[in-house]
Structures are given as structure tokens and as C-alpha cells.
Amino acid sequence: MPVCPNCNRQLKKRKSSDGIIDACPSCKGQAVGLGVLRRLNVAPGMITAIWQKVMELDVFGNRQCPHCGKTMSQISKSFDEKMMTLDICKRCQVFWFDPNELEALPIQEILPTSEDDELSEKARLALARLKISERSKQNSDLEEVTRIGSWVDIIFIMIRNFIRSS
Ligand SMILES: [Zn+2]
Ligand SMILES: [Zn+2]
């Protein structure tokens, strides 16, 4: 049974759709295999980059691998200007995450989604502005209204396609 490098307690297996994660019931640290980590929604290339750096470097930390008991490699990386030190066992291909470290990794799902929200928010605003100008011009200039009307249609189609493709 894998043991927590922080508190020596036996790690408990936690099943998720991405695979099994060994988590410490006491300190909430987590041992995550490379394969499982790649299936999580961590930003593309991030895990590969970390793994490559680990393979090149031979810097050891002070933690023992939960699986093989050997001292794990240590790597420092900054995510969103926050420095994070990761402990990794090359032999077992296991990453050890202290509480909240796994959650601090840039998540692929969150990043594009927030951008999408911002984009669609901008699109909604643009649409609202168009509608306002459309309404204000309704009485004075019919030709202009038709033009703006078709623009609104185009934007609608763009938003619809955008939502479908994402
Ligand atoms: Zn622990
Ligand atoms: Zn190991």
C-alpha cells in the first residue's frame, strides 16, 4: 500500500473517470500517475514539459515516493506567477501533490472557457448595441435598419457556430 510522504499514513485509492488517484486521508496530499495526469484537463503540454525537465535534471527533494520509497526528484515551476515545487518519482512515474497543488495546475478546461465567456459576453454586448442603434434608427432610416438587421443575423450565426464548435 502506498504511504503518504508527509505523514506516513496509508494512502486511500480514489477512483475517478480519469483513473485512480492515491490520496492521503490526513493531509489531503495526492499521488497521481503520469498516465492519469495526462488524462486530467491540465493545460496541453504542461505535463510533458514538466516530465521532460524531470528526466533531464537530477535534483532530489526530501520526500519519499509513496510507491517505491525512493527519494523523489524535485522540480520547481511557476504557474500563474505562483511558484510550485513538485515531487516526482521517475521510476514509478508518479507525481506527488501537496494539498491544493493539483488544483493549482493550469486547467485546460477552465482557461478556454473563461475566454469563451468573455468572447460571448463581448458578442452579447455588441449585439445589444446593434439592437439599440437599430431601434433608434427605425423611424428615420429604413435602409440602414435593413443593413444592421442583416449584420445582427450574421452575428447570430457566428455565435451559434461558435457555441457549436466549442
Ligand atoms: Zn498525508
Ligand atoms: Zn517510486
> pLDDT (tens digit, 9 = 90+) per residue, 56-108?
988 999 999 999 999 999 998 887 777 888 999 999 999 999 988 888 887 66
The ligand placed nearest to the CA atom of residue 3 is 1
* Same-domain status, 22 and 98: yes
Q: How far is the CA of 60 from the centre of ligand 1 (A)?
A: 20
Q: How many domains does the chain have?
A: 2
Q: How far is the CA of 2 from the centre of ligand 1 (A)?
A: 11
* Same-domain status, 57 and 114: no
Residue 12 has pLDDT above 80, yes or no: yes
The ligand placed nearest to the CA atom of residue 28 is 1
What pLDDT is attached to residue 44? 73
Q: How far is the CA of 106 from the centre of ligand 1 (A)?
A: 23
Per-residue pLDDT band at 111 (split at 50, 70, 90): very low
Asked whether residue 158 is assigned to any structural domain, the reply reads yes
Q: How far is the CA of 4 from the centre of ligand 1 (A)?
A: 5
- For residue 125, give its domain range: 110-165
Q: How far is the CA of 52 from the centre of ligand 1 (A)?
A: 27
Predicted TM-score of the model (pTM) = 0.63
Mean of pLDDT values over 144-166: 74
Cα–Cα distances (Å) from 150 to 89, 134, 143, 147, in that order, read 59, 11, 11, 5
**Of 86, 104, 122, the domain-final residue:** 104
Q: Which residues have CB atoms below 5 A from the ion given as ligand 1? A: 4, 6-7, 24, 26-27, 29
Asked whether residue 1 is assigned to any structural domain, the reply reads no
Q: Could you tell me the strand order of the sheet in which 94-97 lies? A: 12-16, 19-23, 30-33, 94-97, 82-89, 71-79, 60-64
Angle at 67 between CA 73 and CA 55, to 5 degrees: 30
* DSSP state letter for 17: T
Closest CA to 53 of 86, 81, 31: 86
Per 3-state DSSP, the chain is made up of helix, strand and coil in percentages (nearest 5) of: 45, 25, 30
Collapsing DSSP to helix, strand or coil, 31 comes out as: strand
Strand ranges inside the chain, DSSP E? 12-16, 19-23, 30-33, 60-64, 71-79, 82-89, 94-97
